[in-house]
Amino acid sequence: MLAPVSKPSTTDKADFSRACSASQRGVTLVELVVGITVLAIALSLITAILGPLYQRSTDPWHQVRATELGQSLMNEILARSFDENSARSGGLLRCGESSDLPCTEPEDLGPDGTETRLTFNDVDDFDGFVGNAAELTNLLGASLMADYVNYQVAVRVTYAATAQVGGIVLSADQAKHIQVTVITPAGSNLVFSAYRGNW
């Protein structure tokens, strides 16, 4: 035979309802607001710490890109002849060697007439050249905008006062100082310098 089922006592019912009500207790509005405030402060501190780290982590990448751009432009400039009055075929005739071929005066440095970057034929044609991503092209005229968004370049060419290049002292009209400045999207300036001798 089956044993009779005993009914729970009233004390058992009271204990059970107290346990249920204690486990179902909610959060008050004040506790909720304090929790949200503490979380907001913690997130603000984390963001303030990680934000500058994120910006600095892109600096090396921008510097590498700027170096590529600056070196490429410098190589392009150095491949040109020394002066408008210099021979283009290996330097058989150099400006300043005779009165018939004087070197360009310092105040006349820059593009000759309506020359553009693609038709620059001597180093000082680049003097005053400024370009941003929309204006930068490779030697074939293809745009570099996609590769160098928000980069800028500026070129300055002057006669070197007295230059010592590889242990050789050159007079003022025998060397030109080329300075290429590349500005990264973060605003850093990277400056590249070289001398172009009259040979």
Alpha helices, H only, the chain:
10-23, 29-78
Q: What is the pLDDT of residues 116-153, one digit of tens each?
A: 777 787 888 888 888 876 667 766 767 776 777 788 88
Kindly compute the dihedral angle of the four CA atoms of residues 144, 147, 151, 153, in this order, to the nearest 10 degrees: -40
Residue 129 is encoded by which pair of tokens?
Answer: 């050249």
Round to whole Å and give the CA distance between 116 and 106. Answer: 20
User: Within 10 Å of residue 155's Cβ, how many Cβ atoms?
Assistant: 22
Q: What is the mean pLDDT of residues 59-80?
A: 83
- Residue 37's pLDDT band (cuts 50, 70, 90): very high
Of 94, 77, 66, which Cα lies nearest the Cα of 199? 94
Q: What is the pLDDT of residues 150-167, one digit of tens each?
A: 888 899 988 877 656 566
CB contact at 8 A, 174 and 162: no
Round to whole Å and give the CA distance between 6 and 59. Answer: 78
